[in-house]
Amino acid sequence: VQLQASGGGLVQAGGSLRLSCTASGSILSINDMGWHRQAPGKQRELVASISSSGSANYGDSVKGRFTISRDNAKKTVYLQLNSLKPEDTANYYCNAVVLTITPWRTSSYWGRGTQVTVSS
């Protein structure tokens, strides 16, 4: 299973970005999908997660500014980032809990990350 993230970049404070992450491979189904971020010198933190039924959960620092969504048919999770702040600067990683066909098991997978930089 591979997770390919895209959409990061450089944006001014107050601006917006949209991140995408698509899963591929021997996938039977995908349970939770989500985004975490890690800034230099800091621990990785949850940004948002979404269940297969669409129930979303957000980190306190992004509530009201970021929106997570997913397209199950496309095996893709999105993160809309609005009202960006310099403190949102980080490498954003997507992850997914996937039931694979071969081997038959449920595992958590991570993408390589996409950099978001917000200038003041």
The Cα 69–Cα 51 span in angstroms is 10
Alpha carbon separation from 109 to 14, 21, 39, 74, 112 (Å, rounded): 31, 12, 20, 17, 10
> pLDDT by residue for the chain (120 residues), tens digit each?
999 999 999 999 999 999 999 999 999 999 999 999 999 999 999 999 999 999 999 999 999 999 999 999 999 999 999 999 999 999 999 999 999 988 889 999 999 999 999 999
